[in-house]
Amino acid sequence: MNFPILSSLILLPTIGALFILFTKSTSGKYQSSKYVALFISLANFLLSLYLWIVFDKNSVDFQFVENREWLSGFINYKVGIDGISILFVILTTFIIPICIISVNATIKNRLKDFLIAILIMETFMIGVFCSLDLVVFYLFFEAGLIPMFLIIGIWGGERRVYSAFKFFLYTLLGSVLMLVAIISIYWITGTTDVEKLYELGIKAEYQNLLWLAFFSSFAVKTPMWPVHTWLPDAHVEAPTVGSVLLAAILLKMAGYGFIRFSLGLFPIASENFTMLVYVLSLIAIIYTSLVALMQEDMKKLIAYSSVAHMGFVTLGIFTMTQQGIEGSIFQMISHGLVSAALFLSVGVVYERHHTRLINKYGGLVSVMPRYAIVFMVFTLGALGLPGTTGFIGEFLILMGAFEKNILVAMIASLGVILGAAYMLWLFKRVVFGEMNNQDLKSMKDLKTFEIITLSALVIPILFFGFYPEPIMNSIESSVEYTLNMYNFDLINNLASKD
């Protein structure tokens, strides 16, 4: 048996967390545990990069598969990655060190507990993207609620309790139906192994209900309209790092789930429900963009913009075209980087001025020129300017949508304009304009660690914006394989009906 590289990727952060648990600090500041956490997360990042290097991009199979007996013979612990999941793993391992570096700005108390929570969270998030068994997936998917609940609840803002409860209960409610579906799949097919299920297929008669059960979970997590209301609350109350994790990675679990499970396991149902997803996505795009326009709180604005962006993602996935799905994956990676960067940027000014209200800011460009530059890059990334990652994702999604349904594509394009409107308006009000608040004059420009974290995000946003090849290469064959399988199942189903 080869070295279990994926399991070590999953377990390493937890081991780090255990290590931190047993460290003691006389000063009570736990600086050393921060370095431990940073070291562990960077090691994990390097490990995932190594994975990327040895990963065979032309193969459509799952790679680095580990299969161990787990639940006495009938459910195995199975992990493995393909071209799609590896990107999300790298995104996760990339975002976590950034979170840990920016911790000292936002977390004043209980730093040690916070680091443990983040590292455990990393374990669960990587686990979600690696798992090749539905029960293992569910386990990681749900387990992530515990650390996130604590992150929002302990280190959050004023209404943190309400938000933490709302986040937890909403997501749990969505997920329990998925558990029923997973167990049903086990009894219908005799396995919960994703690879085997791809081969076996699930009978058409069961697919609709199962699809809906999975959808209920993913729709809450994505979040799609009308079950998106937990997201703005959670984002606003969570500490900066919590928002980053939530926006950059947690939301992607659902998009990933749609591609891996909804499309892969229930192709016929996915086809049946395409219109439903289109409508919900379009409402999300247009409605939440309009809502975002009216927000006075920066974090809330970005939160609503996340809902709109995820609307593009779901739209792209359900176009069932090569461009659409590739665009969705690209959009998820891009949104992971951009929204993380935006929340960090808000964190930067919030930490100095202690308010997130937009109208308390203005004219920051004169006191914080460096900040203005990076914030501009992120704004442009969010609105999808060519040259940033945001553009490629949205462009491909719209291309896919045009192929399938022109009306849908046209409405979605409106969302791009609205997106530009609220992002530019936000930028204008915060960075430009008159500085009518005297306190702002004393604001300092970016500190070293902020420069490190923010430029770490600027680089990939611009790099992949100009040169998307590496990402596209990675996902191309896997997406093609998923689509082929999807179309094959559809044709078979039609043939069996005749």
Partner 1 sequence: MENIQYILPEIFISISIMLFLLIGVFKKNSANLIYNLSNISLVVLLALIINLSSLDKIYLFNNSYLIDNLSNYMKIILVGSGIFVMLTGSKYIQVINLNKIEYPILILSSILGMMIMISSNDLIVFYMGLELQSLALYVLASFNRDNLLSTESGLKYFVLSALSSGLLLYGCSLTYGFSESTNFDQILINSTEFNYGTTFGIVFILVGLAFKISAVPFHMWAPDVYQGSPTSVTLFFAILPKIAALSVFIKFLYTPFANMIDQWQTIIVFISIASMIFGAVAAIGQNNLKRLIAYSSISHMGYALAGLATVSNQGIQSSITYISIYLVMNLAFFCCLFMLKRKEKYYENIEDLSGLSKKHPILSVSLLIILFSLAGIPPLAGFFAKFYVFLAVIEQSMYFLAIVGLLATVVAAFYYLRIIKIIYFDPEKEEYETSHNLGLKITLAVSTIFILAYFIYPSGITEIVSKITMI
**Closer residue to partner 1, CB minimum distance, 132 or 150:** 150
Q: SS3 for 191?
A: coil
Distance CA 139, CA 147 (A): 14
Distance CA 443, CA 440 (A): 5
Only one of the segments 132-140, 251-259, 372-380, 403-411 lies at the binding site for partner 1 (rule: CB under 8 A); that segment is: 132-140
Binding mask 59-98 for partner 1 (x = CB under 8 A): -----------xxxx-------------------------
The least CB distance from residue 230 to partner 1, in Å, is: 14
Residues 48/130, Cβ–Cβ less than 8 Å: no
CA-wise closest residue to 475 among 373, 376, 333: 333
The least CB distance from residue 113 to partner 1, in Å, is: 8
Q: Is 165 a binder of partner 1 (CB under 8 A)?
A: yes
Binding mask 224-243 for partner 1 (x = CB under 8 A): --------------------
Only one of the segments 168-176, 256-264, 384-392, 399-407 lies at the binding site for partner 1 (rule: CB under 8 A); that segment is: 168-176
The least CB distance from residue 263 to partner 1, in Å, is: 24
Alpha-carbon separation of residue 252 from 1, 280, 360, 405 (angstroms):
31, 17, 32, 25
Only one of the segments 141-149, 228-236, 328-336, 434-442 lies at the binding site for partner 1 (rule: CB under 8 A); that segment is: 141-149
**Residue selected from 76, 131, 134, 160 as contacting partner 1 according to rule CB under 8 A:** 160
Only one of the segments 134-142, 217-225, 278-286, 460-468 lies at the binding site for partner 1 (rule: CB under 8 A); that segment is: 134-142
Distance CA 288, CA 308 (A): 6
- Output the six-digit token pair for 371: 């900040």
Distance CA 401, CA 312 (A): 10
CA-wise closest residue to 237 among 150, 336, 116, 169: 150
DSSP-derived letter for residue 61 is S
**Residue selected from 15, 46, 49, 161 as contacting partner 1 according to rule CB under 8 A:** 161
CA-CA-CA-CA torsion sign (52, 53, 58, 63): negative
**Residue selected from 183, 200, 373, 456 as contacting partner 1 according to rule CB under 8 A:** 183
CA-wise closest residue to 386 among 316, 465, 271: 465
Residues that bind partner 1 (CB under 8 A): 70-73, 113, 135, 138-139, 142-143, 145-146, 149-150, 153-154, 160-161, 164-165, 168-169, 172-173, 176-177, 179-180, 183-184, 186-187
